[in-house]
Structure formats: structure tokens, C-alpha cells
Amino acid sequence: MGHGAKDEKEFNVIVLVKQVPEAEDVRIDPDTGRLDRSSAEAVTNPFDLNAIEVANRIKERLGGKVTCISMGPLRADSTLRDSLARGCDRGILLSDKKFGGADTLATSYTLSCAIKKIGSFDLIVCGEKTTDGDTGQVGPEVAEQLDIPHACFVEEIKAITESSLVVRRKTENGYMILELKLPALISVTKDINEPPLPLLKNKIKARKAEIETWSASDLSEIGDVERFGLTGSPTRVVNVGSPHVEKETMMIEGGSSREKAKKLVDILEDLGFL
């Protein structure tokens, strides 16, 4: 592979960030079962803020540069400005109608083409998942397409040098310590750090900063345009519906709390839990 720290003096970190609708603003219309995102404010995926903070800490330690990449509509440039305000050095927006309707495979393919176009990198950092896609798949799929090692659910960076990385990875009931050779990709959990708010002066600076925008044709030398967007997506959402049929609930109202407690214990006994 052409990248790696050897021929470059700088340590290059890439962070993948996505713009998402503010979670609380997504409503479902109870009559039509349709999703109403019209009122939703667009924000940087909260999990990606942890990824940015990881990259910033690494830059503090090893120097170098942090590049943020986001694929999304043109308005997602505000998410890249937010990343710059938080300390990243360069922002690249991948925006094109041809990228639209991408599932995780097409998204990760497009992102990996952009990363190849950048050329040199040592580490890629992702959030654990997005609040809208909510799959956590894009990170490991990018790693596979770039043929580099990865670790998910990283909750601590134990050590990092120019050539390797030691991380603590969460498991269901414990953890694993992994050593990865660089270049590598990690996706980090919310518990890894507490991202500070960006400073006002950095926000103002970021407002004027240049965001590079790459279209499908900018990536056509590196990738196959047929693999972008909807045409490159093997999955199809065929229906979106309301979550559940309602249960019959037996409501116990009125009476003293003593009486209710007795009723509750009766129920527990009947069901065999006592």
C-alpha cells in the first residue's frame, strides 16, 4: 500500500464525520407511519465528536494533521466547519447526486475512494455509530475496502507510536487489549472522552475556512462510479412502519399503595416469581 508514515514526516489522522438530524426532532406521524424530518435541525453525529477528540489528542502527542471527511448533502459543510472549529485542519465534503441513497457498502466504498485520493494516512477514526443510520458498519467496511486492520468499540487508547497502536476494546462483559499495526481504523465509544465545546474564536475562524467539495467525477479516477450511491447499494428499504402492536394492559389505579402492593404481590405469585 502506498500510504504509511515512513515516507511522510507528518502523522496523518482522518476522521469520518456525518451530519445527522437532531434525534429528538425526528417524529413519526402516527396516522401515516411516515417519518417527519422536516423540523429536524442538522447536527454533527454526536458519536463523531468523540472521534474528533481522539484525533485531536493524538495530534497533540504526535503532531501532524487531522483531516475530516463527510459524505452528505451540500449543507453538511456546516458539520465540517464544526469539525474545524473543534481543532481539525482540513475538511472535505463528498457531495453529489450520484452519492445519494447509499447504504453502508456504497457509503464505505465512496469514503474509501476519497481516502485513497488523499493518499497518505496513518489512522482513521470513526464514531461507534450514527444516530440515523445506527449500524456501526461504515467503519469496519471502510477498513476492509482499504485492506487495513480495524478495531471497533475502542474505549481507550493505551499507546500509540508512528507504527502501531494499542487499544482497549469493549466486549459484552469485559474488554480486550489489541495491538494494531498502522495504518489502521478504529471506531470509538462515547465513553472514550468528553469532547469540549469549541471556542467561539475558532467557530468564527471556521466560518470563513475553505471546505473542499469533491463530486463523483473527482473520484472517478480512483473508483467505479457504478458503486456509488443507490446503484452501488445492495440493500433496499422496502417499507417503514410503526414499531409495534399495542398490548392489552391491565391498569391498576385507585386504592391505597398498600392495596396496590398486595395486588402486585398476588400477580407475582400467580406468575410464579415468588
Ligand X SMILES: Cc1cc2nc3c(=O)[nH]c(=O)nc-3n(C[C@H](O)[C@H](O)[C@H](O)COP(=O)(O)OP(=O)(O)OC[C@H]3O[C@@H](n4cnc5c(N)ncnc54)[C@H](O)[C@@H]3O)c2cc1C
Residue 45 or 95: which CB sits closer to ligand X? 45
Is the CB of residue 78 less than 8 Å from the CB of residue 42? yes
Backbone phi and psi for residue 92, each to the nearest 5 degrees, phi listed first: -125, 125
149 binds another protein (CB under 8 A): yes
Q: Return d(Cα 65, Cα 13) in angstroms, integer.
A: 6
Phi-psi region of 63 (alpha: psi -120 to 50; beta: other; left: phi over 0): left
| 127 interface partner picked from ligand X, ligand AMP, another protein, none, CB below 5 to 8 A per type | ligand AMP
- For the segment 38-97, give every residue that binds another protein (CB under 8 A): none
Residue 171 or 210: which CB sits closer to another protein? 171
Query: Of 162, 222, 113, nearest to 13 (Cα)?
Result: 162
- Count the neighbouring beta carbons within 10 Å of the beta carbon of residue 127: 27
Q: Write each residue from 161 to 190 as x if it is in contact with ligand X (CB under 6 A), else as -, in one continuous string.
A: ------------------------------
Residue 30 or 272: which CB sits closer to ligand X? 30
Residue 152 or 160: which CB sits closer to another protein? 152
Per CB under 8 A, the list member of 49, 151, 192, 219 interacting with another protein is: 151
Number of chain positions touching ligand X (CB under 6 A): 2
Residue 236 or 258: which CB sits closer to ligand AMP? 236
70 binds ligand AMP (CB under 6 A): yes
Q: Which residue has the cell 459524505?
A: 71
- For the segment 155-194, give every residue that binds another protein (CB under 8 A): 166, 169-181, 184, 191
Name the β-bridge partners of 151: 186
Per CB under 6 A, the list member of 84, 126, 160, 185 interacting with ligand AMP is: 126
136 binds ligand AMP (CB under 6 A): yes
Is the CB of residue 69 less than 8 Å from the CB of residue 113? no
131 binds ligand X (CB under 6 A): yes
Is the CB of residue 151 less than 8 Å from the CB of residue 253? no
CA dihedral 217, 221, 226, 230 (to 10 degrees): -50
Q: Return d(Cα 119, Cα 4) in angstroms, integer.
A: 9
216 binds ligand AMP (CB under 6 A): no
Is the CB of residue 211 less than 8 Å from the CB of residue 77? yes
Is the CB of residue 94 less than 8 Å from the CB of residue 118? no
Q: Return d(Cα 22, Cα 40) in angstroms, integer.
A: 6
Query: Of 11, 22, 102, 17, nearest to 62 (Cα)?
Result: 11
Per CB under 6 A, the list member of 59, 86, 90, 129 interacting with ligand AMP is: 129
- For the segment 173-192, give every residue that binds ligand AMP (CB under 6 A): none
Residue 182 or 185: which CB sits closer to ligand AMP? 185
- For the segment 21-40, give every residue that binds ligand X (CB under 6 A): 23
Residues that bind ligand AMP (CB under 6 A): 16-18, 45, 47-48, 51, 69-72, 104, 107, 111, 126-127, 129-130, 133-139
Residues engaged in binding ligand X (CB under 6 A): 23, 131
